[in-house]
Amino acid sequence: MKKYLKILWDITAGHRGTYLFSFILQFFIVIVMLLSTFMTKILVDTIMLVPPSGPIDAFLTDLFGGQAFLSENLWVFSVIILGLGFSRALMFFFRMYLRGVVETNIGREMQLKLFYHIERLPYPALKKAKSGDYIQTCTRDEETVRSFITRQVFGVSYALFIVTISFTLLMTLSPKIALVTIAILPIMFVYSYFLIRRVR
């Protein structure tokens, strides 16, 4: 594991700030997305005059004026949900832009390093290899590594963020539902592991 982390650390040299900021943006995108869904729950509770069922629920209800105020001004929910949606879209745009910048720069630097290495290989090694083998292998490997760093790592972090934050929100509302929901994850993980292994 240390070996792969070191490789990741070396490859992202010079772009670590942008790379880290992309993760921070992704974290806030997940929070805003879940808050938007959570506001729908508060809207239904307000219409049905059901009191807040958890600390986060109560905090958000009080933050926007309390249940009595919200029940008389339902338009506030439209503004809040639209505002959250706009914020999420804006953060998503910046995250995709940053990811594109990092992906392009890392890809270019890896290509330069690989081609620099190929140019300095001994002549007998180049003579033995088939025409285009080194270039084709380097190009394929560079694309694989770049895809892992800029896409798959973000996919894993997104899954971790959404599971962790959703579980936390559910725990504040109903610990039983939260535990039942999280209990399915190990089964899904084992099933996915063996399925992917079999396909490969």
Predicted model pTM? 0.81
Whose structure tokens read 């890392």?
Answer: 106
Q: How many CA atoms are closer than 13 Å to the CA of 22, on its beta-carbon side?
A: 24
Number of structural domains in the chain: 1
Within a domain: 187: no
Residue 35 sits in a domain of what CATH number?
Answer: 1.20.1560.10
Within a domain: 200: no
How does pLDDT run along the chain (200 residues), one tens digit per residue? 677 677 777 777 778 888 889 999 999 999 999 999 889 888 888 888 888 888 888 888 888 888 888 888 889 999 999 999 999 999 999 999 988 888 888 888 887 887 777 777 777 766 776 766 777 777 777 788 888 888 888 888 998 999 899 998 888 888 888 888 888 888 887 877 777 777 65
188 to 157, 171, 193: CA distances (angstroms): 18, 21, 8
Domain holding 82, by residue range, is 2-174
Within a domain: 31: yes
Contacts of 58 (CB under 8 A, 6+ apart): 52
Determine the Cα–Cα distance for residues 57 and 51; give it in Å rounded to an integer.
9
Within a domain: 117: yes
